[in-house]
Structure 1
Amino acid sequence: MQAAARGDGSSPHGRLRVYLGAAPGVGKTYAMLDEGHRRAERGVDVVVGLVETHGRVHTAALLEGLEVVPRRTVLHRGATLTEMDVDAVLARRPALVLVDELAHTNAPGSRHAKRWQDVDELLAAGVDVVTTVNVQHLESLNDVVEAITGVRQQETVPDDVVRRADQIELVDMSPESLRRRLAHGNVYAAEKVDAALTQYFRVGNLTALRELALLWTADRVDEALAAYRREQGIDEAWPARERVVVAVTGGPETETLVRRGARIAQRGSGGELLALHVLRGDGLTGVAPDSLGRHRALVEQLGGSWHTVLGDDVAQAVLDFARGVNATQVLVGATRRRRVAAALSPGITARVIQGSGDTDVLVVTHEEAGRGVRGHGPRGVLSVRRVALAWALAGLGPPVLAALLRAAGGIETLPTVLMLFLALTVGVALVGGLRPALLSAVLGGLLGNFLFVAPLHTLSIAEPRNALAIAVLLAVAVGVSTVVDLAARRTVEAARARAEADTLTAIAGAVLTVPETVPAVLEQLRESLRLDGVALLGRSGDGRPPARWELRGTSAGDAPTGADDATATVPVDDDLLLALRGRTLAPQDVRFVAAVGQQLRAVVERDRLRSEARLTRAERERGEMRTALLAAVSHDLRTPLAAIKAGVTALRSVGDRISPADRDELLADVDHQSDRLQHLVDNLLDMSRLDAGALAVHADPVTLDEVVLRALGAVPEGAVDVDVPEELPLVHADAGLLERALANVVENAVRHSPPGRPVRVVAQEVPDAVVVRVVDHGPGVPDDRKDRMFAAFQRLGDAPRGHGLGLGLAVAQGFVRANGGALEAEDTPGGGLTMVLTLPLPGRGPGGGA
């Protein structure tokens, strides 16, 4: 039914399932094939797009009963390679296709460079895909894997490709079990087992790779959990892992809180520390930026992350953030307010506890607790509670004051009464602003007139001075209330402006220090405004209305995919638009987003200029290379051609009159010049492949002594002394490329060695590597030219014209790097140059398969 439903060409995007393993041999391919059989038994149309069995009997047995799409044949450098036939799979149009080794690099000439790109095409066509990948092939872990194993992976897949999978299943196995499986011959052939066990499959390597796989999968599961909670509108925390949010003010107690939070987060594996600083708009933002910088550095040093949000209600901002990140604990400091202030109004700590729900709140005491808040200006925010209190004072204060004056007796003279009512009005203005104060003034004036101005108990005023006194009361009340209200609003605006400036400063810092600038800025904007998601959209099409906006591949959180999917949009310029999803923004928030948008516009323009500069620089370098190539080809290629032409012409014109000895000499010269020409052309082709990034590496375990002997095939007898022990461990490399690299290095050394001083080729094993030294006693190379000698078209100072294009060492270094090794130059003791070729063990590492 699935296949039939997808036959109309309008099917939805296919679903991707990934089996992730820590190392080869854990059973990824086996699990994938087993899944294929289960699906087929349920009636799903399943085919095998490509599976690598690597000679494993149990894996090959699982292929029986499944339809296998024939592979596509590719010819490359005389070798026949096979790859998945994407066109055949699309023509077959199955419901599900099994594709092994997601990180594989396709053979040159394939439609896509990488197999994961083939998989993307299948998914876009509506075909479901089940695939496999090892954790060491994830791009973000490349450096970590190299540090653990000493091997830099050449075949990688972007993390985002795997993270986009609808399902990721970890295929796990203990290091001891995997080593037993390897020893029993269930992973590699018998002749490779010993080398694998002592190199790549060491217990330490496998344990570290297993931990990487578990942690990476845990992060992916956490992302899926967060997405589910967002979709279902679940606000309460689900404590799947220890995630500690530390609410910090930037005050002197911050360091104590952060260190306590770090200790709690480190109690269990996978715990996270998140430090949260709320930039509030109530005038209490008097923390010095350098203090926040020191605290942020401390958090990052302890392995945590620093987060900043904007919020007038600090307690609510802390709780919203904690629920958003699914925190298990919130750490807050004991209040610094004195006992009287704490008794009059609950502080932030108490309000966090009251609203925490299922989230645990830990109150941490510190030296500043109870000492009072120092260095802050007056409060300027008219909170809801404060305004309500002001209305209550305005409505009840004048009647109560009037009753007290009547009860006291003897002090109810008009000046005294009006002064007391004025004092009450000013107090109401200070608490609640203009409108409650106006109510207090009007009530005070009416009650004063009714109860204390003759004629009593009427609203009539007999004397003009009494009317003037009441009018002055109302005027003063209005004036004082207006000033207080204006001051409060200006304080709020100034405080918010400072908070926004601090946030913009943090964003500017991210622009300068974070490699992926645009995503970092969007994430900072999302956190600051407590939004669900933010995306940067770009205009598509021809620019004519109606405008169409598409995601530029840059977003943060649960971001909208287009303008129609956003809660709000803020234009950046004619071609960029910020799309926001989440709460409704206030006008001042929109202005803040617009300011961030201008920074993003500058970043995008900077990135564009950098890209253009890189392209210009690359084009200039290619131009310089073409110029050097023409200069070199004009002589070096014509020299052997001229010699060949002269020899052939002589043989054709007067060959019957030439003596056999001369004829043999001419033929030998033609043969020698043909070899030189072939060598020059090979180097040119190799250099062009290296420059284009089209070099294909097919690594296998090889014996170094055999490669060295083949590389010396064209070297004159007696020109090289070889000391390469047969018992050296196998290196994992492309034997052909390694042979060419050694041949070029040795040929260069022989050319520059003096007569009677043969070149020495010595190999030895060092920790985690095999080192080959090619030692000559020639003129050597100055230190300042050692790096330049590996550039294309560089000749050593004493190399005459006609002895190559200066490509030999450049090609050799490119081939060695392609095999995961390094080629460097050192001085030979006593004079000369030593080329040091280092090949890591176990090479690229055994790869592929499950």
Structure 2
Amino acid sequence: MADEPARPDPDALLALARREGRGRLKVFLGAAPGVGKTMEMLAEAHRRRAGGADVLVGIVETHGRAETQAAVGDLPMLPRARNPYRGQELEDFDLDGALARHPQILLLDELAHTNMPGSRHPKRWQDVEDLREAGIEVWTTMNVQHLESLSEAVARITGVRVAETVPDRVLAEADAVELIDIPPAELIERMRQGRIYRPDQANRALQGFFKEGNLAALREMALRRTAERVDADVTSYMRANAIAGPWPAGDRVMALIGADPSAETVVREARRVADTLKAPLLALHVEQPTADPDADPGPALRLAERLGAEAETLVAADLPSAILREARARNVTHLVIGRGRPGRWRRLTGRTLSGVLLRQAADFTLHLVPEPAGQPRRSAPERRALPAWLGWAAPPALVTLATLVGLASDEIVPEGALGMVYLVPIVAAAVGFGPVHGGVAAILSFLCWNFLFLPPRYTLTIAGPQDVVGVVVFSLVALLLAGTTGGLGRSVRAARARMLSLRRLVEFSRRLGAAGDKGDLVQAIAEEASRIAGGPACVLLLLPPLPGEAVPEPVVRASLPLDAEPDDASMAAARWAVANRRPAGRGTDTLPSAAWQFRPMRTASGLAGLVGLRPPEGGRPLDGEADRALDALLDQAAVALERADLMEERARSEARAETEALRTALLTSLGHDLKTPLTSIRGAVATLRTSGPALSEAVRADLLATAEEETERLSRWIANILDIVRIESRQIEPRREMVDLAEAAETAAARAARAHARTISLDLGSRPSAPRLDPVLLDQVLANLLDNALKFSAPDGQVALRLAREGPEVGIAVEDDGPGIPREDLHRVFDPFFRATRTDRVAAGSGLGLAICRGLVAAMGGRIAAESPTQPDGRGTRMIVRFPGG
């Protein structure tokens, strides 16, 4: 079949399309300050302006250097924006002015710069995004240490943490990157000459950041990052123009990872090749539909990632084609594969992977890695509980059964058609036990059919041409069925195993979602880990590190069975796993003598904990499906634990917010309600002290009455505070006795009417029976309700108190014709310190009266509710208290 014509890569074309209409970005990249980035940018700007381009200097930081100021020359400059801040006027880049001016090329120095307060964006690189969206080409400068991904590495090398960083994607999306580079010795000499910093700053820099070793490391970072950028540009050009790789522009190494024990050896050898070539490494695993479902490339892929490789997995039926297609797409130049141990038939026919690649991969350098010395041949893991001899006994038994069927129908069915009967045991053996067993059944079927049914019978002779054709067709069909159905059986078993794992993961996800608290959650994780591993399991969470220590302490929080806990030697492996965030213990490369194996539960924000497993002594490691299921469990468990922590933190934050709100309300109320009576008392006392003899008797009496009234008010307010504290702490114990509600209502109404000089309407009904209540608490409830009604209604308003029998309950209603309570505030009027928005403007209050009423009523076994409005014009409030009848 002719090769298909190469087509451009859609992703590469899409990336080019995104750039259309946007302004270009050119970055002058340096290893450190003083290498000449700004000077080179200005020189290039002069050349472009001489060619007729519209060049504008948005901002250039000269840092007082006359050399840089002279390099600006006659280039037009954009006036800087001014912004007052803390008594001084700051100057910075004017983004709005640049957008309005819209030059062809804009020079913008120091991409990582932080803008002055009040700017549209906090960072200058964000200004660049707006400029590019407007179609303006931007030239800018930056040092490699300002890249966000390198800030930690730079801090470790130089001891100086860079505060201003630029996301790596900004550099990756730049249209051009020009490296400005000078040797470290020359840069240090420029520093000593005062061409970079002032002499006092230069001396400090030479003793700290500007050491030759630091500069050499930064220079290597800049060179590598620029080389990676150029390499990415070459790959993008190849994909966009449908150029088949590899291009010998740079070396790339690809390790082909299988599921055999030698895969990790291939990864290590590929890493050595890549290090020798100074080339990036890609690890590729191609999963075939007919592959052994228990084969697991996971350990080799994880090893590749730990060694700094990019790991990728593909699914394809044609292994060599998939490898070569991916290698050409990635511009790979070196392929590293294991020699392996292919079957004799594959070696004889030249169908081994290495043989096919030698013939087809003429553009690549092929590295064959031998298996480690003494490496035993991997035996296929047992996938079923059936004994091994049953697989070999099944083909003869199935063929015998088919023979009996053929003998029974010998006189009915022609001998040629009897061959179809023998296809059944072939298919059954291949599906049930594999292609080899299907092949054995095919051979036995052919021999029985030929010997018993083909003329001349009871011999293995083939008489005529028709029989020859039949035998050939039968043999081909039988072998084809044995191979295809055997592969189909493996695929079905693999799909069934994956579906079972998926179903279990879904069920486990539901269990995680249904877990009541963190204790239930860790117990569910331990149970699922034990089920997957088939042995004891535990979950360890992390305690904060002790003073002077940097590593959190792992502590067992759940286990299955309950007495399964790691010993001291195993806990050392757990601490190592926490410190390094890698598996440790039995079956790993670290502390393999420990009885337990620990696997970390990692999240984006850190380590959520560990899952511990105790494999049996001498037991086999987890098979592929179980290992993948356990990895999925770890990922889900880590997310669930992180979610639980976030929910706990949210609950704590809400509790803190409520406490803060209550504290603020209390302090506000204290400040208001204590200050007012104290001011009145102090004023009355001061007036009596200074002008007492000169005042008339009536004025002195009025001042004393005012002081007495405000003192009572203050005492009442403090009593309310004490009451609400007692209610909240549940310190109130009602003293129950038979109470005449009518008498209690009359007494409370009379007292409130005298205090407010108002009239209260009473409706005592049929004098309901006396319930068992605390008369003191009931009197306080009625007093608060009547005081509220009188306070929040007009001086000539109506206030009514009614008693009524409501089935098994007795009701007390206090009603006024005041402004009413908004509907949205009805459910909150009984909260401490809450004041309804409408009533707050009518009369001042502490917001404790109704809260105290609710607490006292609840203590006596009753309930209270508010209704508003009670009148057609939207006014009026009714407070209803209900107690069990006597």
Q: TM-score, normalised by structure 2?
A: 0.47
Using CA pairs under 8 Å that are at least 6 residues apart, name the structure with larger relative contact order, 1 or 2. 1
Which protein has the larger Cα radius of gyration, Structure 1 or Structure 2?
A: 2
TM-score (norm 1): 0.48
